[in-house]
Chain A
Amino acid sequence: MSHWIKVCALDEIAPLGSRVVASSQGDIAIFRTADDAVFGLRDKCPHKGGPLSQGIVHGDTVTCPLHGYKIGLKDGVAVAPDKGCARRFEARVEDGMVLLSLPSADPA
């Protein structure tokens, strides 16, 4: 089970920018691309735990600020030859609001 949660207005995230959402499942980075798509990833680089939310967003990729790992926003997977994967959270825009899907902490 998962449910959708309102996060903020799309305008509150800069294009090619990101925001951090504090959740019961840890910090989640919400990214906005140039074409206003939004993506959610756990805010922890698979390499050394760097905060992906602080990286530079380009295309559908974010570059981790610590050591330059490039992580795909769509699937959380590191761009080869780097390896690893950041957990993905579904996100979408509806009526100018950013919505984030959080799996229930307690699988009923």
Chain B
Amino acid sequence: MKKQKLVVVGNGMAGIRAVEELLKLAPDLYDVTVFGAEPHPNYNRILLSPVLAGEMTINDIILNPLGWYADNGVRLHVGKTVTKIDRTARKVVADDGTEEDYDRLLLATGSTPFMLPIPGNDLPGVISYRDIKDTDEMIATAATHRHAVVIGGGLLGLEAANGLRLRGMDVTVVHLMPWLMERQLDKAAADMLKTSLEARGLKFLLEKQTEALIRGESGRVCALRFKPAPGDEPGAGLEIPADLVVMAAGIRPNTALAESAKIYCNRGIVVNDTMQTYDPRIYAVGECVAHRGIAYGLVAPLFEQAKVCANHLANFGIARYTGSVTSTKLKVTGIDLFSCGDFMGGQGGKGGTDEILLHDPAGGVYKKLVVKNDTLVGAVLYGDTADGPWYFQLVKDGQNIHEIRDHLMFGQKHVGDVGHAGKTLAATMPDDAQVCGCNGVCKGDIVKAIKSQGLFTLDDVRKHTKASSSCGSCTGLVEQILASTVGGAYTPADTKDKPLCGCTDHSHGKVRQTIRERHLITIPSVMSYMEWKTPNGCSSCRPALNYYLISTWPGEAKDDPQSRFINERAHANIQKDGTYSVVPRMWGGLTTPAELRAIADVAEKYHVPTVKMTGGARVDLLGIRKEDLPKMWADLGRAGMVSGHAYGKSIRTVKTCVGAEHCRFGTQKSMAMGVKLERMLFGMWSPHKVKLAVSGCPRNCAEAGIKDIGVIGVDAGYELYVAGNGGIKTEVAQFLCKVKSDEEVMEYSGAFLQLYREEGFYLERTCHYVARVGLDHVKAAVVDDPVRRKELHERLLFALQDYEDPWQAAVEKPAVRREYEVIRIKEVAEVKS
């Protein structure tokens, strides 16, 4: 089939992002040709401010070097402005006469700065702030001239003013409105910003309207004159010196080309939710577009549009763009400012919003959260923006904040401060501060990767730097660094309906639901029914699918060892050198001289280099060769020991204190209770690992407060706690209920774990699961509804019946044992090549 022709008008961030997304989906569908009016390949326009400020160079901000176009077979016309679209002949014509035919056309013409219609606006020295050329001119002027005036106190104007000031100019910002950045800030935050910028030497003239720009003797602009006060003579307004005037009074969607081709425009080029214009062959994305009446001037929405557009260009036809919530961050080094959503709030109760305020003028901190119907709808942060990404996420997700409302203002205190001693102000961290403790990634590495590789999402950063890709505890911090580096281009990941992995667009919840509703019992049937994009998934989705199948259809779905991570396939923990560790089960932490003797014997027989106690208080034998595992297990099995599952997303251990059996304070027999629980749960696979503890009295020596289920004996029975976690981020377990008997402990614990097994997403610990569904949901099923509780408990017992010790299986079954055997070969030629 002959390739279709796609012509892209506009070589900027939106147009090229659409091409990139398209190449990912359908690399061979089109011959792609791109026209760019500027003589540069695609660069990161939002980083022009750091270039102006002297913090970066043009080369740093190139997103797609010329080689990228060649490598991807994209033909590029730089320095050519398309001046005509011939919709009948389906071709475009550029100013130098170049013509290109198209089957489909993508308009990404961006926007043009608004030049105030005042006398002198065409004088030399009067420029806008939009592209590399403007930036170069500002840098050059700063070296030779003194007085700069920036018209417009918005985001762009302030960044321009700050850059010119850093380049040594005397800068005055002129603004029509009563406060700066009125589209992003309320007055209180804007006043703090103004004070801080004044301290850096900027001057401000607010509520001033420019009347004319005045020509100097050299022919260049020399001054700016304001409109006179009411009642004064015309021309009597204040004049201020100006060798350079930067117009930053807003942008207008660049619709001239589309309008000349009679494509319907209104504010911008009007598109529907598939980014199609009124001509079905012509699409449009970026700042030139009006979608549902809104023209976006920030980069994050453009990327969403590009993705949707590519989906339709690739003939997939399923994506829709429904508009964006935007956030803003000022890229002025040393000033932390963030706003998102509807930050103005009610201003007198309009729209039923409430405001939560924190204002510390001396400390330089201002925070305003706008809340409507128990959801966060907007935020303004000044001085401390560490929680900006978190608030933005809450706004985007529309998450109910009722339960956290009282401490919402104090932020997501728990974001990523393991090993950072609470230091979470990403912007002020030095470059050599370590962010990701797992992979040894410093802030500087991340910033460099974001800038040099043009990264915009958390996933990109994870792939390129490995930061936040292991334990995830630094995710919040990495997001902050991302947000502070890319500014307005930052969009938090969609956590609600996030696809399971790159192999599918379906979320964990959707996959679980489909497996249940369609009664799917094999991985291939799930992949085919849900239209997986890869032939047999990947190392992320296969273990998840395997778990969902065996937990949803116990006895029917067959466990697939090849879809399990090696630890669960080999029933031992892989170590950094490829050896394994063996942890025999000790029910409730109790053991006997005979068991200890057997452990000592195997440790000597197999030359085990390290023997230690695990965190769950079991014996760990480390440094075992895989081939030796079945032999060792056979020896341990003869002493009556079975797998301790210290390697699985499964029941790990039930830790116990001595309890009433021996302890003079004990109120309940915690050891016996622990043994009963551990025996009940033997062989339980779960979304993630599960640890329990039973303490015999409230002194709680078994540390039940940080376990998935904590049982604490009291005089009248037991208190049950759930969803604690002692790992990455310490979470104190939440009180579930009080029960009277051992049987009730088993039933309630079993029901809670079964609920988690049925509803939890793969790799979600109980603390994350309960945070997602709410403790009330858990209580309704496990505490308030005795029938449901019994059913849940019975389903758990049904799933666990007949579970065989996997170690014994490896000893006895040759097909299983093969997993552990190394093939030895005779290295003589047996077959001629």
Contacts and interface: CB of A to CB of B under 8 A. Distances in A.
A16 B830 contact: no
A22 B831 contact: no
A5 B562 contact: no
Given A17-B562, A23-B825, A55 B833 contact: no
A21 B824 CA distance: 6
Nearest to B538: A58
Interface stretch (B114-122, B310-318, B563-571): B563-571
Interface stretch (B72-80, B125-133, B529-537): B529-537
A54 B535 CA distance: 20
Interface residues of B, number: 39
Contact of B536 (A6, A34, A55, A63): A34
B578 interface: yes
Contacts of B538: 56, 58-59, 61, 63
A19 B825 CA distance: 13
Interface in B810-830: 818, 821-830
Contact of B539 (A3, A58, A102): A58
Interface in A1-48: 2-8, 12, 14-17, 19-24, 27, 30, 34, 48
B405 interface: no
Contacts of B453: 81
Given A19-B823, A56-B542, A56-B565, A2 B536 contact: no
Given A4-B831, A51-B578, A99-B831, A12 B818 contact: yes
A12 B817 CA distance: 11
Nearest to A69: B466
Given A2-B833, A48-B576, A65-B566, A59 B827 contact: no
A15 B463 CA distance: 28
Interface string B431-443: 0000000010000
Nearest to A56: B539
Contacts of A6: 825, 830-831
B216 interface: no
- Which of B534, B537, B539, B833 is packed against the most chain A CB atoms within 10 Å? B539
B464 A59 contact: no
B830 to A, nearest CB: 5
Contacts of B272: none
B456 to A, nearest CB: 14
Contacts of B822: 19-22, 27
Contacts of B833: 2-4, 101
Contacts of A84: none
Contacts of B470: 67
A102 B831 CA distance: 12
A25 to B, nearest CB: 9
Given A4-B830, A65-B565, A65-B574, A20 B539 contact: no
Nearest to B576: A66
Interface residues of A, number: 44
A102 B827 contact: yes
Given A59-B535, A63-B538, A65-B574, A22 B562 contact: no
A53 to B, nearest CB: 9
A59 B536 CA distance: 6
A81 B542 contact: no
Given A34-B535, A63-B539, A68-B539, A16 B562 contact: yes
B562 A7 contact: no
Contacts of B469: 68
Given A7-B825, A21-B822, A57-B562, A81 B464 contact: yes
A23 B536 contact: no
Given A21-B825, A56-B542, A58-B536, A14 B562 contact: yes
Contacts of A81: 453, 463-464
B825 A5 contact: yes
Interface string A63-97: 10111101000000000010000000000001000
Contacts of A100: 825
Nearest to B560: A16
Given A7-B823, A51-B578, A54-B574, A14 B561 contact: yes
Interface in B422-481: 439, 453, 463-464, 466, 469-470
Which 9 residue pairs of A and B lie closest in terms of their CB atoms, listed nearest first? Answer: A3-B829, A63-B539, A56-B539, A54-B566, A51-B578, A4-B831, A16-B562, A65-B566, A21-B823
25 contacts: A3-B828, A4-B832, A8-B823, A16-B536, A16-B563, A21-B822, A21-B823, A21-B825, A54-B570, A55-B539, A56-B539, A56-B562, A58-B536, A58-B539, A58-B542, A59-B536, A61-B538, A65-B565, A66-B574, A67-B470, A68-B539, A70-B539, A81-B453, A100-B825, A102-B827
Given A21-B824, A22-B823, A54-B574, 15 more contacts: A4-B829, A5-B825, A5-B831, A14-B562, A19-B821, A22-B822, A34-B535, A49-B577, A54-B570, A56-B538, A56-B543, A65-B566, A67-B439, A68-B469, A102-B827
Interface of A: 2-8, 12, 14-17, 19-24, 27, 30, 34, 48-51, 54-59, 61, 63, 65-68, 70, 81, 94, 99-102
